[in-house]
Structure 1
Amino acid sequence: MKKIILLFIFTISLFGAPSDKELRNMIGQMVMVGFTGDSSSDEWVKQLHLDIKNGRIGGVMILARNISSKQGLKNLTKYLNSASSKYPLFIAIDEEGGQISRFNKFSDFEHFPSAYKVGSELDLNSANKLYTNMATQLKNLGINMNFAPVVDLHNDISPIIGQRQRAFSKDAGEVTAYASEFISAFDNVGVASVLKHFPGHGNASSDTHKISTIVDSFDFDEIRPYYELIKRKKAKFIMVGHMIIPTIDDVNPATLSRQIVTNLLKDSLNYEGVVISDDMLMKALGGTLEQNAIKAVNAGVDILLVSEYFYNKTNSIKALNDAIFNSVKSGKIEIARIIDAYNRIIAQKARF
């Protein structure tokens, strides 16, 4: 049974500034974290359950290390979801198909082809059926969000996108068409899709997981799938990448760039959904988690994704919550930015 939640849109003009407790709860919704453990009996899974219950996070990310078996994963997601009372918990995974799947080492999960194989060999109707099966598997496992589809353009130069066959096509129109079928299939099943990696990772010649990545040959055709899918009201969640696009912002990675996240995506493309960061611990960002969190929120990012519960011998959840809270209190982040992120998030959680 779906949870019934009251959609509470917070505005300063009607309610005044939020109390510190309300502010903490809003910030908690902006944090999504990866963790260690695959069972409710694991110490850190129990701690995560408490963090969810206390409103410190609004979502979790399932990684291969969290999967012991199909039934084990079902039990884990059920346990974590039971801690969330006011709003549904986002339980997310990377399930693109092909090489990018957390299920590849397990024989009892259904496996799916890469996006490039789908775009090359299947018609749109067949793609829709395939992605309906993918979404159904996730739904049955207790997962309600997928960090897919990739809407980057295929380019063999990219070691992390093209060479791993993660993009549907080099043609923006074909990418849009297949991504649209992916989203429709997932919407029909009730699992959220997250388009990635805005504004376009296909021409990146290096991997943002490992090093700072500059995309010198950025083609604005790479934005076309986002433009089309936003215009069609298909895009509810978009993940922004960590590459530097000098033609837009020659200083900041996209995640930390107000020109890219707010000016381009939210304002110029009129995007009203939720912006999720790529993993904030990836090496392309440099700096500290706290510094980057403040920059990302000011850039317009709504949900901060961090893959590790612990960061530099510190609880990453506490580090993120405190950094944002203290920045609001000191004036480094405007309260209106937190309220905007919170309102965008709960508007989408109302769909669950």
Structure 2
Amino acid sequence: MRNPAYKILVSAAASMLLFACKPGRVVTGKSKKKDTVATVRKLDSLDIKIGQMVMVGIEERTMIDPNDSLLAELRDGKMGGVVLFEKNIAKTNSADSFRNMTRAMQQAALIPIFVTIDEEGGKVHRLKEKYGFVGMPSASYLGGIDNPDSTLFYNRRLAAEMHDLGINLNYAPCVDVAVNPENPVIVKNGRSFSADPEIVTKHALLCIQAHHENSLRTILKHFPGHGSSANDSHLGIADVTNTWKFIELEPYKNIIESGEVDAIMTAHIINRAFDTLPATLSKKIISDKLRGFLRYDGVVFSDDMQMHAIAENFGFENAIALSINAGVDVVMFANTIPNLQGRLSASKVHAIIKNHVANGTIKKERIDEAYRRIMDLKKKKF
């Protein structure tokens, strides 16, 4: 008897094959059938499913050489996405170089990859004007003037530019509520739209609308709310037990109920009222609160697993297992923060996840579940 997932895999393979066809390539008759069958066989494998769960930073690359090891990893299906930063923007011919780089990665990939970036605006703005890109004001500015037309204008302009550059998923909008005015990483950096969850919801939905109009997916962050912390989780544990407010869930609830959510990213914060583990590693927070209480069944991305709050407190391999078992579908390693593990390749992360599955630490069903969500998001039409 065929695996019950076979029909899903056939459908996914056919859809992804059409999505992945390169311009100028004609696939007809027997060759089309042969390609589809070959794709199904590759998709129906643990290696490919695990690969879709791996997101990595590409270090200092501003171009991709044809013999680059990154391309080999993409051809082997070791990763499902890349995250790009300002350091990946060439100082000259910035747009053309960036576009060529994203195109080279997509052409090498077995399944089209998520090409992601942090583009919130304000201080979290990678595509800067000095490289010839458009300006983007901060969330606090847009929430402060509270003008829907302005939020749509700036986000439409930014999203159109990202689409042209080959980016298809943005780590934005930030829906953290500005609960703590002294919060060092969100509020003081202008990354929250407002202390009012209704204003946060309104402008986040406008941001999402502008992205969807330009065929970009978005990621809400940082669940279950980073706006009340007194510390920066890039540097260590951020405990919000005594400061977190229930209103920090309101934007998530509202946007989930609107049906406009593409994906959600977890925060490396601890709230002992929920669990003693950071949210990224907590089944009580991701599976019980996000998926159970808020009824969300889409893709969950981790924040950078190399941030000190995780990397230096829970052990690299252990943290991967905890996060996936908690309900994280895509584990992200940005390769930007100095830490004990150093730079991490997609192949290394992939091997660790596969070993966890082999020894039973992570169930194959959990991999299948994550893969189904990821593929659904990659096939999403706007």
Provide the TM-score with structure 1 as the length reference: 0.91
Q: Which residue of 1 aligns with 2:112?
A: 88
Query: Aligned partners of 1:134, 1:105: CA distance in 2, in Å?
Result: 11
Corresponding residue of 1:225? 251
SS in 2 for 1:91: strand
SS in 2 for 1:162: coil
Q: Give the deviation of 1:326 after TM superposition.
A: 1.4
3-state DSSP class of the match of 2:260? Answer: coil
Residues 307-316 or 113-122, more deviating? 307-316
C-alpha contact (below 8 Å) 2:117/2:171 kept by paired residues: yes
Aligned to 1:117: 141
The match for 2:325 is 298
> Given the superposition, is the C-alpha separation of residues 208 and 181 from structure 1 closer, same or farther in structure 2, using an over 3 Å criterion?
same
Between the aligned partners of 1:313 and 1:191, the Cα distance in structure 2 is 31
Question: Aligned residue for 2:156?
Answer: 132
1:179 is matched with 204
Q: Which residue of 2 aligns with 1:235?
A: 261
Question: CA 1:40 to 1:227, structure 2 compared with 1: closer, same or farther past 3 Å?
Answer: same
Q: Which amino acid in 1 is paired with 2:77?
A: G
- Per the alignment, residue 72 of structure 2 pairs with 50
Residue in 2 aligned with 1:328? 357
Residue 315 of structure 1 and its aligned partner are, at CA, apart by: 4.1
Correspondence for 1:24:
47
Q: Measure, in 1, the Cα distance between the counterparts of 2:105 and 2:131.
A: 25
CA contact (8 A) 1:218 1:247 kept: no
42 and 83 in structure 1: CA distance in 2 versus 1, 3 angstrom threshold: closer
Counterpart residue identity of residue 303, structure 1? V
For the 8 Å contact 2:316–2:341, the answer to whether it is kept is no
Residues 1:281 and 2:286 aligned together = no
* Paired amino acid for 2:227: G
For residue 86 of structure 2, what is the aligned residue in structure 1? 64
Q: Which has the larger radius of gyration?
A: 2
Q: Does 1:156 align with 2:181?
A: yes
Once the two structures are TM-superposed, the CA of residue 314 in structure 1 deviates from its matched residue by: 6.5
Match 1:258 to one of 283, 299, 308: 283
Paired letter, 1:67: I
Any conservation in 1 of the 2:162–2:168 contact (CA below 8 Å)?
A: yes
CA–CA separation in structure 2 for the residues paired with 1:119 and 1:226: 17
- Report the 3-state secondary structure (helix = DSSP H, G, I; strand = E; otherwise coil) of the residue aligned with 1:135: helix
Q: Aligned partner of 1:267: which letter?
A: G
Q: Secondary structure at the match of 2:157?
A: helix
| Residue 99 of structure 1: aligned partner | 123
SS of the residue 2:300 aligns to: strand
Deviation at 1:254, TM superposition (A): 0.3
**Percent identity among equivalent residues?**
34
Deviates more, 1:301-310 or 1:325-334: 301-310
Matched residue SS, 1:82: helix
Q: Which residue of 1 aligns with 2:371?
A: 342
Instruction: Name the CA shift for 1:325/1:157 in 2 (closer, same or farther; >3 Å).
Output: same
Q: 1:322 to 1:131 in 2, by over 3 A?
A: same
Give the counterpart letter for 1:55 in structure 2: G
* Distance across 2 between alignment mates of 1:344 and 1:274: 6
Alpha carbons of structure 1 residues 205 and 313: separation in structure 2 relative to 1, 3 Å: closer
Aligned Cα RMSD in Å? 2.1
Which of 194, 212, 221 is the matching residue for 1:196? 221
Whether contact under 8 Å (1:290, 1:319) holds in the other structure is no
Please list every run of 5 or more consecutive structure 1 residues that lacks an aligned counterpart in the other structure.
Answer: 10-17
Partner letter of residue 7 of structure 1?
Answer: A
SS at match of 2:120: strand
- SS of the counterpart of 1:194? strand
Offset from partner CA, 1:31-72 (integer Å, 9 cap, x none): 0000121112387xx111111111000000011111101211
CA distance in 2, matches of 1:235, 1:100: 21
| Map of 1:318 onto structure 2 | 347
Superposition deviation, residue 263 in structure 1 = 0.7
Query: Secondary structure, in 3 states, of the residue corresponding to 1:168?
Result: coil
**Structure 2 counterpart SS, 1:259:** helix
Whole-angstrom distance in 1 between the partners of 2:354 and 2:185: 34
Please state whether the residue corresponding to 2:271 is helix, strand or coil: coil
| Separation (CA, whole Å) in 2 of partners of 1:291 and 1:35 | 23
Which secondary structure state, in structure 2, belongs to the residue aligned with residue 60 of structure 1?
strand
Which structure's relative contact order is higher, taking Cα pairs within 8 Å and 6+ residues apart? 1
The 3-state SS of whatever aligns with 2:73 is: helix
Task: Give the secondary structure class of the aligned counterpart of 1:7.
Answer: helix
Segments of 4+ in structure 1 off by > 6 A?
18-21
The structure-2 alpha-carbon separation of the partners of 1:214 and 1:272, relative to structure 1 and needing over 3 Å to count, comes to: same
